Amino acid sequence: MITWASGVLVVYHSQGELGPQTPSYGFPLPWITVGYVQGCLLSTPYCFTYSIDWAFLTMNMLLYSSTSFALTTIILRATRTQFLALLPRQMNWSTVKTIMAVILITIALEPIVAAALLPHLPCVSCPQSQWESLTMVSYRTSSPTNLTLSLKNAGSLTVQLFDYKVQDGNGNQWSLNLAIDAWNSGPVISPNATDTVSITIGSSCGNCTYQGSPGAFTQFAAGNSYSVIVVTARNFEFPFAVRG
């Protein structure tokens, strides 16, 4: 219950455009990490997967069990006389401690069962009817300032591309916004269809905006890694890793 409650606080507090990609929760150590689906039209949360950190879960279990054992022992010792008076005559104090140990061990093992059967709560799976997804089939460098992506619409909704950002390994960035340049009227890709998209930077994109060190990123250098982030009309971002 403590873990689930902390998950509710973390996930529901993470509302936003896409939310954090890997929020973790659990108390006191975060032992559940939730993955978010990009392109879901639900208002959030729109988690679709989770993973378990078994080391953190084990340490939490040890803390819970040791704390429970200590508190139970203190309470029983403080009320030993009254407690023994309630027990059948054939039961002694050693029997009581054995029973309590078994109960505490069972309580301590409960998180393992819960983790194995853990549903996506407090997350909600994204319905297929509200799914927007893009995958990169291939790419090629058409020129030092022009990159061509082949993108497939793997979702159930028609996707209109709104703008893009291109970042190098040092954080320098070129970006194009549809409000400034029509970017070929915003390429539209139907479900299950594949289309090519031209990503231009530097001298090939007169309306692009540059952020970063002047002159540090003017073209795609051979062998260097870049991140191309395509933004749809619904304001979902899809990042793709490429090399010059």
What's the CA gap between 227 and 199, in Å, rounded?
A: 11
Residue 19: pLDDT over 50: no
Bridge-based pairing of strands 146-153 and 173-176 is unpaired
What's the CA gap between 228 and 151, in Å, rounded?
A: 12
Q: According to the model, what pLDDT value does residue 74 have?
A: 79
Q: According to the model, what pLDDT value does residue 53 have?
A: 82
- Which tens digit of pLDDT belongs to each residue from 90-140? 566 666 667 777 766 666 666 565 555 454 444 555 666 667 889 999 999
Mean pLDDT, residues 166-173: 94
Least confident span in 6-20, 64-78, 175-189, 193-207: 6-20
Q: Which helix (H) or strand (E) holds 123?
A: none
The CATH 2.60.40 portion of the chain extends over 132-243
The residue among 209 and 182 whose pLDDT is bigger is 209
CATH class of the 132-243 domain in this structure:
mainly beta
- Which tens digit of pLDDT belongs to each residue from 21-69? 456 777 788 877 766 656 666 554 445 566 778 888 788 777 877 787 7
Q: According to the model, what pLDDT value does residue 87 have?
A: 62
> What is each CA distance from 122 to 40, 62, 217, in whole angstroms?
16, 25, 43
Mean pLDDT, residues 173-185: 67
Residue 172: pLDDT band (50, 70, 90) is very high
**Residues whose CB falls within 8 Å of the CB of residue 7, separated by 6 or more in sequence, listed in order:** 25, 26, 32, 34, 121, 122
96 three-state secondary structure? helix
Mean pLDDT across the chain: 75
27 three-state secondary structure? coil
**CA-based nearest residue to 228, from 206, 197, 185:** 197
pTM: 0.56
- Which tens digit of pLDDT belongs to each residue from 206-227? 888 999 999 999 999 999 999 9
